[in-house]
Structure 1
Amino acid sequence: MWGAAALVLVYLILRLLGPILMPFALASVFAYIGDPLVDRLEERKLGRTPAVALVFVGLTLVTALGVLITLPLLLDQTQLLIQRLYGFVAWVQESGLPALRQYFDLPEQSSVNTAKEALSKHWSAAGGLLMYVWQQVSGSSAAVLTWLANMTLVPVVTFYLLRDWDHMMARIRALLPRRVEPKVVGIARECDEILGAFARGQFMVMLSLALVYMAGLWLVGLDLALVLGLIAGLASIVPYLGFIVGILAAGLAAYFQFDSWWPLLGVAGVFGAGQVLESVYLTPTLVGDKIGLHPVIVIFAVLAGGQLFGFLGILLALPAAAVIKVMVLHAHEAYQSSDFYAAAGDVKESPE
């Protein structure tokens, strides 16, 4: 009873504080990832604060170097992608829609003059539409500014969380009732092992697939190889999503770039090889069976997290699913060790 009420209360609080939780959630993830590095530096007789500063500066330099190297290429590819999208829209208007009208015997589109007359007759509605568009644009600008302000909090919160991480964990452990403290600590260690395996393994899988897709699309000759390969690699956090998004986007880009069907076969070969490499080697080697989440569970977790908590829910869906898996396994073990389960077995096996 009290447990269910506490879960409902936590859910309501998360829903109300959702807009401001993003930088703190990201900072917690970065602090969790960086804590083992800081602990290793402490083992070498380095103080906690200097160790945190060294790890923080190192990660910042690596991130900045990666951004400086890839950002110009990504900007060029993004600009080219926008140009290709404009070309695709023009093709749809000039060739695609007329072909569909002819095939399905649909009426022709109204002329420009007819549209102008309709607009002049419904000027008030058009004014309302313009006001709506302006509100959306201004709201988007405010959202961008809010996002930038939140992102500036991430390094600050990460530094303080990383510095006090062990102290906070010790405080939480001290608050646990002594009777359940060993069991809770054991479960927490199992969750830590699973989350560590997921964070390291899944990141390496995504990075490897992104490199494979970028190299393969570059060999095919696709102009958008970098940005499409990177998008497909990042989307591979959800099973088969990177393959589906990548092959559709790259296939469409190859269709408009080349006059031959052979590049489309090359794109299909690149993503087919990437999918086989992920299933046969990357995921078993880098992630292994420590997480053991079924693909259907992964897809459901991501969709449920997005539905409940937006982008924050998508970000934390798989780690939360891994932790819930550990909880369910321990609950199942406790159930099988309970008197209720033993009594049910006795009743089932008793002769009629």
Structure 2
Amino acid sequence: MALPVQTQAKFWGTAAIVTGLVLWILGPQLLPFVMGAAIAYFLDPVADRLEAWGLSRALAVTVISLAGVLVFALCLLLIVPALINQLTSFVEALPGYVQAFRDFLAARFPEQLQEGSALQQSLSSVIETLKARGGELLNTALSSAMSLVNVITLFLIVPVVTVYLLVDWDRMIARIDELLPRDHAPVIRHLAGQIDATLSGFIRGQGTVCLIMAVYYSLGLMLTGLNFGMLIGTLAGIVTFIPFVGAIAGGVLALGVAVVQFWDAPLMIALVAGVFFLGQIIEGNVITPKLVGDSVGLHPVWLLLALSVFGAIFGFVGLLVAVPLAAMIGVLVRFFVDRYKTGRLYLGYEASDRQPATLTDPASMPTRQAPPDPR
């Protein structure tokens, strides 16, 4: 006999509270393990594909590890130093860009920048702040990042956790399936399948989209000759997972630099704008529909809310688990909404008695009857 509903609710509620407390208290210590698990989840389909080609699981993980080391080394030697140099140069040049913007406004709208006006005082304050604290802010950001993701975590713990989890991923999933409550196992498997489809569609698909768009924006802006084109393009590509935000933020930043750099060449400014305009067309009509599709189920507002809430509660670990938790919560909310719409609270007693079993429960899904023979 199954446990009463109230007892089950107490048990699972307590488990959820304990899990949240563990994440909150041990967040920094769990960071390398969360990162390793996320990378292993991302790479598991690659290992499965290599196994289907005849490789053993250990050999497949070895091939993936060697490829990962090669890609990491290339990024560390070629891409990361260039991004850091451009970021440093951009912070140093930012007061000059703001000054040039003020000169542009003074030439076009002199009445708005008269001595003592609110706009003139605001721009002067921004310039002085950037000159005085720009380098300090950059150094603080870099030192904070290095203290958060330190060398040991980056080069030792995360790769080791990833390799071990990737080798044992299928056995680990099978073991978890054995521990599921037998009464609820079909529903849990169904929900887990929906969560996996949502996560795989968003993380793998949208991650690939971000990578493609970062390469596109970086190459496009660098070909136009825009200063800091690689930095701006990379930032715009990374934020592409939030629709329109990456293109708008990167476009505004790139156009601001282009106006100052190509003051007397409006064609070059138009080319910079065209890079982002064409990127939005390609990303919205070709890349995202092909790689992500329309079945992810994560609304941009819901995604922003999850990032804000979990980031504020759990810090950097919260940002890492925000998308998976948002996907899980979204699937569970849709499941309970379906249950509610087939229950007595929504339909009433008589209507609910005539209602068929809910389709969200795999164990109670009705079988399709064969059509009658017309003969």
Does residue 7 of the first structure (1) align with residue 10 of the second (2)?
Answer: no
Does residue 147 of the first structure (1) align with residue 149 of the second (2)?
Answer: yes
| DSSP 3-state at the match of 2:215 | helix
How many angstroms apart in 1 are the aligned matches of 2:170 and 2:324?
Answer: 20
Does residue 104 of the first structure (1) align with residue 113 of the second (2)?
Answer: no
What is aligned with 2:315?
A: 310
Structure 2 matches for 1:127-146, cutoff 5 A? Answer: 144-145=146-147
How many angstroms apart in 2 are the aligned matches of 1:145 and 1:250?
Answer: 30
| DSSP 3-state at the match of 1:301 | helix
How many angstroms apart in 2 are the aligned matches of 1:286 and 1:44?
Answer: 23
Residues 16 and 92 of structure 1: CA distance in aligned 2, closer, same or farther (over 3 Å): farther
Structure 2 matches for 1:219-234, cutoff 5 A? Answer: 219-234=223-238
What is aligned with 2:290?
A: 285
Residues 96 and 10 of structure 1: CA distance in aligned 2, closer, same or farther (over 3 Å): farther
How many angstroms apart in 1 are the aligned matches of 2:118 and 2:323?
Answer: 48
What is aligned with 1:42?
A: 51
What is aligned with 1:333?
A: 338
Does residue 249 of the first structure (1) align with residue 253 of the second (2)?
Answer: yes
What is aligned with 1:237?
A: 241
Query: Residue 31 of structure 1 is aligned with which of 12, 37, 40?
Result: 40
Is residue 101–residue 260 contact of structure 2 (8 Å, CA) maintained in 1?
no
Which consecutive residues of structure 1, in runs of 5 or more, have no partner in the other structure? 109-133, 348-352
What is aligned with 1:16?
A: 25
Residues 278 and 346 of structure 1: CA distance in aligned 2, closer, same or farther (over 3 Å): same
Residues 214 and 100 of structure 1: CA distance in aligned 2, closer, same or farther (over 3 Å): same
1:245-291 deviations in whole A, cap 9, x for unaligned?
20222122223323236244433332233223322332222211120
RMSD: 3.4
How many angstroms apart in 2 are the aligned matches of 1:315 and 1:323?
Answer: 14
1:229-251 deviations in whole A, cap 9, x for unaligned?
11100011222221232022212
How many angstroms apart in 2 are the aligned matches of 1:139 and 1:230?
Answer: 18
What is aligned with 1:189?
A: 193
AA aligned opposite 2:296: I
AA aligned opposite 2:149: W
| DSSP 3-state at the match of 2:295 | coil
Q: Which range moved further: 23-32 or 200-209?
A: 200-209
Q: Which range moved further: 267-276 or 201-210?
A: 267-276
Which consecutive residues of structure 2, in runs of 5 or more, have no partner in the other structure? 1-8, 107-111, 122-135, 353-375
How many angstroms apart in 1 are the aligned matches of 2:275 and 2:227?
Answer: 15
How many angstroms apart in 1 are the aligned matches of 2:140 and 2:218?
Answer: 36
Give the structure-1-normalised TM-score: 0.78
How many angstroms apart in 2 are the aligned matches of 1:246 and 1:234?
Answer: 10
Shift of 1:302: 2.3
The size of the alignment, in residue pairs, is 320
How many angstroms apart in 2 are the aligned matches of 1:267 and 1:205?
Answer: 21
Residues 306 and 343 of structure 1: CA distance in aligned 2, closer, same or farther (over 3 Å): same
Is residue 97–residue 257 contact of structure 2 (8 Å, CA) maintained in 1?
no
1:88-141 deviations in whole A, cap 9, x for unaligned?
4776999999x9570418999xxxxxxxxxxxxxxxxxxxxxxxxx9xx89985
How many angstroms apart in 2 are the aligned matches of 1:276 and 1:140?
Answer: 35
How many angstroms apart in 2 are the aligned matches of 1:160 and 1:32?
Answer: 12
Does residue 63 of the first structure (1) align with residue 72 of the second (2)?
Answer: yes
Q: Which range moved further: 226-235 or 33-42?
A: 33-42
Give the structure-2-normalised TM-score: 0.73
AA aligned opposite 1:237: F
How many angstroms apart in 1 are the aligned matches of 2:288 and 2:61?
Answer: 31
Residues 307 and 176 of structure 1: CA distance in aligned 2, closer, same or farther (over 3 Å): same
Is residue 302–residue 313 contact of structure 1 (8 Å, CA) maintained in 2?
yes
What is aligned with 1:165?
A: 169
| DSSP 3-state at the match of 1:166 | helix
Does residue 200 of the first structure (1) align with residue 198 of the second (2)?
Answer: no
How many angstroms apart in 2 are the aligned matches of 1:142 and 1:236?
Answer: 24
Please state which structure has a larger fraction of its residues in helix.
Answer: 1
